[in-house]
Amino acid sequence: MAGLTAFSYRKGFSIVHSLDARFKLLFLVIIGASGLKASPAGLLLLFGLVLSGLIHAGIRLRDLFKELRFFFCFLLFVVAIRAFSADGTGLIEVYGISLSAGGLKEGLLVCLRLLLIALSGLLFVATTRMLEIKAAIEWILKPFPFVSGSRISTMTGLMMRFIPVILEQAKETSDAQKARCIENRRNPLYRMIKFAIPLLGRTFDNAGRIAIAMEARCYSDIRTGYKLSSKKNDWMVLFIVISVCTAIVAYL
């Protein structure tokens, strides 16, 4: 059975859960943009804001960090690249390559910014139902001519729905090939081709079946959408987020 990914909705009754999806998207943009401008102290404050949101939403940080372990490996890689490639005062030297203090600081800053964006995104997805996200996307795209907000939101929903299914199929394909000793083949290109062709074939077949099933249920761009409505809480939280982010960027 396909498991939940880190980026999936978790039911809850927190204030963050109750906020309008459009506002939450706006918070995501404001916090992300402030993170780019903020000093290290300001970044830590933003982290505090997002982490308290995650805790308030009932997301266990231990589970969260466990699910993000591969992302942390990526961040470590980014720090290492920055630290060893930047010019500046060398702290230590490994095999003739020096690790610079400035590079290490820069690398850590980039990582903190990436982590802030990832955690904010996770807070958004974990507290917002897919139908609200789809409705928010449709609302945002409404002013743009020649862009079908309804179609894009449906595609987003389908993508979120079928990621676990495709991952499950990828695992099945990989297991079936292991059962026939694919690991004895040394050529990675051969292994990749033998893995990708059946997986892509299955995915395209499924896509065809999904399209037929949607057609059978009268799918079209004109349909009853989910109605989003802003409340007093949304405006209050917006005021708080803007005030805090402005203060962080201006004074820290």
Q: How far apart are CA 113 and CA 27, in angstroms?
A: 15
Binding of another protein at residue 202 (CB under 8 A)? no
Binding of another protein at residue 181 (CB under 8 A)? no
Region of residue 123 (phi > 0: left; psi between -120 and 50: alpha; otherwise: beta): alpha
Candidate ranges 22-30, 58-66, 140-148, 218-226; the one touching another protein (CB under 8 A): 218-226
Looking at the Cβ atoms of 50 and 126, the one nearer to another protein is: 126
Q: Considering only residues 68, 108, 131, 182, which one is a binding residue for another protein as defined by CB under 8 A?
A: 131
Q: Are 6 and 122 in contact (CB under 8 A)?
A: yes
Q: Which residues pair with 94 in a beta bridge?
A: 97
Please give the backbone phi and psi of residue 177, each rounded to the nearest 5 degrees, phi first. Answer: -75, -35
Distance (Å) of CA 212 to CA 70, 155, 157, 204, 218: 37, 15, 17, 13, 10
Angle (CA) 45 60 109, round 5°: 35
Binding of another protein at residue 157 (CB under 8 A)? yes
Looking at the Cβ atoms of 209 and 231, the one nearer to another protein is: 209
Q: How far apart are CA 81 and CA 88, in angstroms?
A: 14
Q: Considering only residues 1, 92, 179, 189, which one is a binding residue for another protein as defined by CB under 8 A?
A: 1
Binding of another protein at residue 170 (CB under 8 A)? no
15 Cβ partners below 8 Å, 6+ apart? 56, 233, 237
Closest separation in Å from C-beta 223 to another protein: 5
Closest separation in Å from C-beta 53 to another protein: 22
Binding of another protein at residue 229 (CB under 8 A)? no
Looking at the Cβ atoms of 60 and 209, the one nearer to another protein is: 209
Binding of another protein at residue 215 (CB under 8 A)? yes
Binding of another protein at residue 235 (CB under 8 A)? no
